[in-house]
Amino acid sequence: MIDRNQIAAEQATFRAFANSYLRELNSGNPVFHRIGERNFDCVEISLPSRHVVLRIEIKSRSLCGMHLFGQIWMRQDAGPNWHEIEPILAVHLLVLGAREAGSATHRQADVELLERILQSCQATKRYLDAADRAPPLVGFIAAEQSLYFGHPLHPTPKSLQGMSNWQQDVYAPELRGGFQLTYFAAAAHLVREDSAGIAVTSIVGSLLGNDAGNVAASSGEMLLPMHPLQAEALMLDPAVRALMDSGQIRYLGPAGPVFTATSSVRTVYSDDAAWMPKFSLPVRITNSKRVNRRHELEAGVAVARLFECAGIDTFEPRLGFLHDSAY
């Protein structure tokens, strides 16, 4: 029996990688591939280090976005005969053929890239299977969690290195999991915070919802909400453990309403909260760890203040902005 989701995932994986490859590494040569009386519009890519040539059918060309691909053919450098190959094999050949030099460093990078490509493909298949079983939803968060193929011009759009399959059940947006934020109380002198228009303590209090009276910081402390994955990683950090052992940071546990991941994975949403927190995660999302850097946080607050001072939010009632108003 043909698994249509497996086929769709492999085709999407090839489409994303090939578009990235043609855009950034090698645009190939336009050719026609003839089978019988039919000509196929193709791009031809020679891979000397692999001693092969690929022809990729272009079903729809785009000057600025992504191409749509069809069949893929391969022949040996010295051979006249073409034969059709599967998309995943084509991706493998393109990765290995992208570098002429075969140093150990390059091989290690290639293996890691292949790992992330295959992980992205497997995740896409899993998300499509889950979508078949899930009831249809509408609204903001439904739209955020229905981007099953990810970025069309990224080679590994659904790779989540550092997040296991069982964790994805809860934290991957496509699987619609829900979780509470994890809270710590930290000595105020350890915390750097700023905000535009509303105090950080008020924002954190609102995130707690009905648990606001049950989770509290002592005098001289501030509450810190964390993504559960972020909290787990921090508690394994020796510097953080030392602060916890000295009582300067206290673990308070999960609290507040249930949140769920948006398409970015690290920004989370709850129907019962007015704010969407954006966290640093110990996960390589697509190809890099997503970290809230201090200068970026400061810039977000500065822009929010600029909009407020200039009254930009009121210029056009039909246009709204999502600000990074606090950290």
For the beta carbon of residue 125, count every other beta carbon within 10 angstroms: 21
Coil, helix or strand at residue 78:
coil
| Residue 200 and residue 132 share a domain | no
Q: For position 100, what pLDDT does the model report? A: 61
| Residue 93 and residue 45 share a domain | yes
Q: Which of the listed residues 156, 190, 217 is the one where a domain comes to its end?
A: 156
Q: For position 102, what pLDDT does the model report? A: 52
Tell me the per-residue pLDDT of 117-147, one tens digit each, with 9 for 90 and over. 999 999 999 999 999 999 988 999 999 999 9
Q: For position 49, what pLDDT does the model report? A: 86
The residue segments making up the domain with residue 275 are 175-314
| Residue 3 and residue 152 share a domain | yes
> If the chain, 327 residues long, is cut into consecutive pieces of 10 residues, what is the mean pLDDT of each piece?
93 97 93 92 93 96 92 92 96 86 69 94 98 91 96 95 96 98 98 94 95 92 98 97 98 98 98 97 92 96 94 89 93
| Residue 119 and residue 21 share a domain | yes
Q: Which two tokens stand for residue 121?
A: 């493909």
Q: For position 101, what pLDDT does the model report? A: 47
Q: For position 1, what pLDDT does the model report? A: 75
For the beta carbon of residue 47, count every other beta carbon within 10 angstroms: 18
The answer to whether position 274 is within a domain reads yes
Q: Which long-range CB contacts under 8 A does 274-277 form with residues at least 24 apart?
A: 274/206, 275/203, 275/206, 275/207, 276/322, 277/181, 277/207, 277/225, 277/227
Residues 273 and 178: their CA atoms lie apart, in Å, by: 14
Residue pair 179/257 in contact (Cβ under 8 Å)? The answer is: no
- Would you list the DSSP string of 152-209? TT-SSTT-EET--HHHHHHH-GGGT--EEEEEEEEEGGG----BSSS-HHHHHHHHHG
| Residue 147 and residue 103 share a domain | yes
Q: Residue 250: left (phi > 0), alpha (psi -120 to 50), or beta?
A: beta
Residue pair 10/149 in contact (Cβ under 8 Å)? The answer is: no
Cα of first residue to Cα of last residue in the chain, in angstroms, is 52
Q: For position 303, what pLDDT does the model report? A: 96
The answer to whether position 167 is within a domain reads no
What CATH number corresponds to the domain at position 10?
Answer: 3.30.310
- Determine phi and psi for 206, rounding to 5 degrees: -70, -30
| Residue 142 and residue 183 share a domain | no
Strands 38-47 and 52-60: antiparallel
Q: How many domains does the structure of the chain reveal?
A: 2
For the beta carbon of residue 209, count every other beta carbon within 10 angstroms: 15
| Residue 29 and residue 102 share a domain | yes
Q: For position 313, what pLDDT does the model report? A: 87
Q: What angle do CA 303, 306, 308 make, to 5 degrees?
A: 110
| Residue 199 and residue 133 share a domain | no
pTM assigned to the model: 0.91
Q: For position 2, what pLDDT does the model report? A: 81
| Residue 232 and residue 286 share a domain | yes
Strands 68-76 and 268-269: unpaired
